Amino acid sequence: MQIAYRARDITEAHIVAGMLEANGIDTYVGGHYLQGAMGEIGAAGFSNVHVDDDDVYRARRLIDEYESDQTVVASERDQQDKPDRYARWFIIVLVALAWFLWRF
């Protein structure tokens, strides 16, 4: 068996392992016992996804697709999180109008 993926934490390792198993690749997730040394805080870098020697190339190709999809999703989320300029101006005008009506 070879390491196909070095995950940040045990949860990500299981997500990648599940994706690989859904594509017909047998996996083994290592590093469970090393996680407990840090207590409740998720220790980083101890979790690995292992696959058979015959499946390494296909597994790494699927993992590359997974990681590229994560980058696209993150950039789309960043675009959606930007505040709308018109909404900001609307709120400013609404507050100014409320203040004006309250004063007079």
**Residue pLDDT, tens place only, 26-41:** 999 987 766 555 555 5
Per residue in 37-75, pLDDT (tens digit) is 555 555 556 788 999 999 899 999 998 888 887 655 555
Residue 79 structural domain: 2-103
Tally of structural domains, the chain: 1
Distances in whole angstroms, Cα of residue 35 to Cα of each of 8, 10, 11, 13, 94? 11, 8, 11, 12, 52
Going edge to edge, which strands form the sheet with 47-51? 2-7, 47-51, 27-30
Q: Is the pTM of this model over 0.75?
A: no
